[in-house]
Amino acid sequence: MSMGKLFFGWSNIKWFIKEIGNLYTGRPSHFSKKRVESGIAFIIGQWGMVHFLMVNISSMSTSDIVLWSGVEFAISGYMLNQIQKEKFKSDNSSEENN
């Protein structure tokens, strides 16, 4: 396989870095600043939750694990709800413009 056929080639890496840089300037970007930042926060939060579970699993009771999974489902539900609200807003605004 040649180097030009790889997905993570240098040109794609440069494009990605440029688009992330465009988030914090006035130039248009393919990414949404709000979604990138909330995605990063979600990943950090998930890493913390999984790390907590891995460290404390041996000393946790069944009710602790149920509480932990309830928090996980609440976070996931909240994120899904936010995405659906955003999609609904963008769908309605595009219909109004037509």
- What CA–CA distance (Å, rounded) separates 88 from 86? 5
pLDDT tens-digit readout, 56-77:
999 999 999 899 889 888 988 8
Domain that holds residue 57: 33-97
pLDDT tens-digit readout, 13-56:
888 889 888 888 878 888 888 788 888 888 888 898 889 889 99
26 falls within a domain: no
- How many structural domains comprise the chain? 1
8 A C-beta contact, residue 57 and residue 68: no
Count CB atoms within 10 A of the CB of residue 49.
15
8 A C-beta contact, residue 31 and residue 19: yes
51 falls within a domain: yes
Handedness of CA 91, 92, 93, 95 (dihedral sign): positive
46 falls within a domain: yes
27 falls within a domain: no
